[in-house]
Amino acid sequence: MKYRILGRTGLKVSVIGFGGIPIQRISEEMAGSIINTALDLGINFFDTARGYTDSEAKIGAALKKRRKEAIIATKSMARTRESMAADIQTSLETLGVDYIDLYQLHNVKDEAALEQVLSPNGALAALVEAKKDGVVKHIGITGHIKGVLIEALKTGQMETVQFPFNAVETSGAGELFELANNLEAGIIIMKPLAGGALKNAGAALRFILEYPVTTVIPGMDSLQQIKQNALVGEDQHPLSGDERKELEEEAGSLGNAFCRRCEYCLPCPQGIDIPTVFLLDGYYTRYGLQDWARERYRGLPVKAGSCLECGQCEEKCPYGLSIRRMLADAAARLD
């Protein structure tokens, strides 16, 4: 396994990390076996979140006897100082650890959210405090909107930045790579397979590792996936001309049917959270998390079925998605 340094955290992380979303759907025993195999194959970076139901608990249980070999990253959607302090405590208890290597502000998606987390009573203040206390070693941020992440990095407070980057979703990444590298912020890449839409995992991962990123964290829930992905981390030979062409063609074919969660389509006058509906639908169709996705969907204040087909969202979507049709399909599955 190859390793890179996670920016100024100084942590030496495997170029292939472990994305903690899919283990929600497997047993604790299976999760333990997968995580231990990952460690045996040199994967040492494990990313989870407060919001991924039992993912923190499964990762914590599996790493109990091998804590020193692992770098644990988690994150919380908390926006206030008080709620972040509570979530840090919950994460420590759920993971069963004395400290967390990296705690991230989760999915900071617009200027207002960024302003809130950076304010004196915002979530960042709780992370800084936890870092002083030694229970959080490093602080990072995650999100989908590159402009917001750039502003966050410019504060100089973020030691890492995590965002989606893959053969389908390259736009705006160059500026973020450059800034992060200039500021020595570690770069963690999520959704390397475009939410499961890219089928050739090996080529998709090697494509990303050609860029100045630190680690790529595909979600993994089988021993076969762990072994295949770990191989990429051992041998990062460049894509061949044919592989590159194939990947570009695949990415091109997804162009009209794949939500990048950029949120340009919002606000919907009916109040439908369009990207979240598509996210949950993706969990349903691509990750096999049917019950989990339906439960989350039930919690949305406005359902996809409330769409009046005004078409405003489609005019704003830079990817030309047929949002009305996609919402109707999602509603049929999730309602």
Strand 18-19 relative to strand 45-47, pairing: parallel
Report the b/e string of 243-268 with b at 16+ CB within 10 A. bbebbeebbeebeeebbbbbbebbeb
- Any contact of residue 277 with ligand SF4 (CB under 6 A)? no
Strand 12-14 relative to strand 3-5, pairing: antiparallel
Taking CB under 6 A as the binding criterion, the range among 124-132, 242-250, 289-297, 318-326 that sits at the site for ligand SF4 is 318-326
- Any contact of residue 260 with ligand SF4 (CB under 6 A)? yes
What phi-psi label fits residue 10: left (phi over 0), alpha (psi between -120 and 50 degrees) or beta? left
Strand 136-142 relative to strand 100-105, pairing: parallel
- Any contact of residue 321 with ligand SF4 (CB under 6 A)? yes
| One residue of 88, 180, 187, 307 binding ligand SF4 per CB under 6 A | 307
Beta bridge partners of 5: 12
- Which residue, 50 or 261, has its beta carbon nearer to ligand SF4? 261
Size of the site for ligand SF4 (CB under 6 A): 27
| One residue of 323, 330, 331, 334 binding ligand SF4 per CB under 6 A | 323
- Any contact of residue 181 with ligand SF4 (CB under 6 A)? no
Distance CA 84, CA 214 (A): 26
| One residue of 151, 243, 263, 329 binding ligand SF4 per CB under 6 A | 263
- Any contact of residue 302 with ligand SF4 (CB under 6 A)? no
- Any contact of residue 287 with ligand SF4 (CB under 6 A)? no
Taking CB under 6 A as the binding criterion, the range among 114-122, 128-136, 225-233, 253-261 that sits at the site for ligand SF4 is 253-261
Distance CA 230, CA 227 (A): 5
| One residue of 36, 90, 119, 270 binding ligand SF4 per CB under 6 A | 270
- Which residue, 176 or 226, has its beta carbon nearer to ligand SF4? 176
Residue of 279, 230, 10 whose CA lies nearest to 218: 230
- Any contact of residue 251 with ligand SF4 (CB under 6 A)? no
| One residue of 63, 216, 313, 334 binding ligand SF4 per CB under 6 A | 313
- Any contact of residue 164 with ligand SF4 (CB under 6 A)? no
- Which residue, 258 or 287, has its beta carbon nearer to ligand SF4? 258
- Could you check whether the bond before residue 267 is cis, i.e. omega within 30 degrees of 0? yes
x-marked contacts with ligand SF4 along 200-239 as a string, rule CB under 6 A: ----------------------------------------
| One residue of 187, 262, 330, 331 binding ligand SF4 per CB under 6 A | 262
Please answer whether residues 84 and 123 qualify as being in contact, where contact means their C-beta atoms are separated by less than 8 angstroms: yes
Give residues in contact with ligand SF4 (CB under 6 A).
Answer: 259-265, 268-270, 272, 274-275, 278, 307-313, 317, 319, 321, 323-324, 327
